[in-house]
Amino acid sequence: MDTAYYTAAGPEQRASLLCAPKHRVAAGGRTRSPSFAARASLKSSGARASIPKQWYNLVADLPVKPPPQLHPQTHQPLVPSDLSPLFPDELIRQELTEERFVDIPEEVIDVYELWRPTPLIRAKRLEKLLGTPAKIYYKYEGTSPAGSHKANTAVPQAWYNAAAGVRSVVTETGAGQWGSALSFASSLFGLNCEVWQVRASFDQKPYRRLMMETWGATVHPSPSEATAAGRAILAADPSSPGSLGMAISEAVEVAATSADTKYCLGSVLNHVLLHQTVIGEECLEQLAALGEAPPDVVIGCTGGGSNFGGLAFPFIREKLAGRMSPEFRAVEPAACPTLTKGVYAYDFGDTAGLTPLMKMHTLGHGFVPDPIHAGGLRYHGMAPLISHVYELGFMEAIAIQQTECFQAALQFARTEGIIPAPEPTHAIAAAIREALECKKTGEEKIILMAMCGHGHFDLASYEMYLRGDMVDLSHPAEKLEASLAAVPKI
């Protein structure tokens, strides 16, 4: 094996990969210079210290607080009891709190230790391929058991529900990542888990479903006959491919009508973004331990906004405090351009209008995005907190077509080895654009990117791209106009 490596890379190159001290990453990050054994012991002794003890709530530091969520019928600001049918008390408290830090329970840290701290890796071989003077770092969340950052919030959500005596949790899943993460977390705490998986993904990704079933969950395709919301959609369109908005309606309906069942959401909500800040907190520590300067630009893909917010929010705190000045760039699919083409308005989080009204960037709760490969980015809305931060001018957003994203994914896979999920290919494509811009200007920027999951269950999408069958999709203007017209007037 070693010989093959030498032949492929050349001994000098290999030596430089192993030894260059400035490429070393702090405990828990990827460390290349110590031997493997030393690395393993470093991880077991140092890892715990690097898992944050608290989640960070950006709301505490914002100069203007985000607008309140509203009751779906009365349009009055939500009070905690409005959310009681859906969530346990502690998660409701976290959803509404303005306190700066929230302690992470010991039991949750114990589970985080299965894969946290996650590696912060410098994409040296990708930099070389691009010929850029920029440094590209990626924080890789694909090491969790379910393969993405979603486990960072699935574990505390399952834990708080179990601690409150809840027996079952229900949820939706688009690409299958969130459903897998919650199935995994539920299995650890003895909760039943029921998942509505968007029909298009249920049909395309049988292995995601089997993963959920292996962890003990029950999976329904959505829309389903099991709920009133699902039956109404099927009556109007028996061959509906489903959408996240529809699947949320089904799961919320079941939670709201069963006593011992609560609902979990994998993105969008404040408490979800709060839990994801473990990513950014760890990353700040890892960059400092490396002796690396703060990033010039922080990039992440956005579906509902949780992996981007999780990485970016601690860095936004540092910027607001005057300690660094990165730019923040969200990347969305051209076929579901919520931040770049949506309106900022109160809208429902689901198709049937069962959720609270949230002020957010939205394409309209009835918008059914084309079935692009990045299923996790097919959501009509955007986290209210991300939308608010965007309105305040603290971040920017761009939209990229899927073929450019998959081209970037192949460059990444062939240099860094990791096969990305279709969602973070958007972040990779944007990081490559930035690195190529640096090549023109000669700027040695530090680019930090959220690499939120692996694509081992998404190889059918890679097959389409490799065969040359993948096409770019864009949202027809009439379809968008119609769904925007249905946004409630508040």
Ligand X SMILES: *Cc1c(COP(=O)(O)O)cnc(C)c1O
d(CA 254, CA 119): 38
Which of 444-465 are b and which e, b meaning 16 or more Cβ less than 10 Å from the residue's Cβ?
ebbbbbbbbbbbebbeebbeeb
Sign of CA dihedral 424, 427, 432, 435: negative
Q: How far is the CB of 420 from ligand X (least distance, A)?
A: 8
Let me know if 73 is exposed, middle or buried by CB neighbors in 10 A (0-12, 13-18, 19+): exposed
E strand residue ranges, 180-272: 192-198, 218-222, 261-263
Residue 140 or 159: which CB sits closer to ligand X? 140
- 217 near 194, Cβ under 8 Å? yes
d(CA 133, CA 123): 12
Residue 187 or 425: which CB sits closer to ligand X? 425
Q: How far is the CB of 157 from ligand X (least distance, A)?
A: 14
Tokens encoding 219? 């999976």
Residue 160 or 178: which CB sits closer to ligand X? 178
The secondary structure of 336-394 as a DSSP string is S-HHHHSEEEEEESSSSS-SPEEEEEES-TT------S-GGG--SB--HHHHHHHHTTS
- 62 near 317, Cβ under 8 Å? no
Residue 187 or 338: which CB sits closer to ligand X? 338
Q: How far is the CB of 218 from ligand X (least distance, A)?
A: 20
Q: How far is the CB of 174 from ligand X (least distance, A)?
A: 7
Q: How far is the CB of 306 from ligand X (least distance, A)?
A: 3
Binding site for ligand X (CB under 6 A): 148, 150, 175, 177-178, 266-267, 301-308, 376-377, 421, 423-424, 452-453
Residue 199 or 454: which CB sits closer to ligand X? 454
Residue 150 or 319: which CB sits closer to ligand X? 150
Q: How far is the CB of 363 from ligand X (least distance, A)?
A: 15
Residue 255 or 382: which CB sits closer to ligand X? 382
Q: How far is the CB of 154 from ligand X (least distance, A)?
A: 11
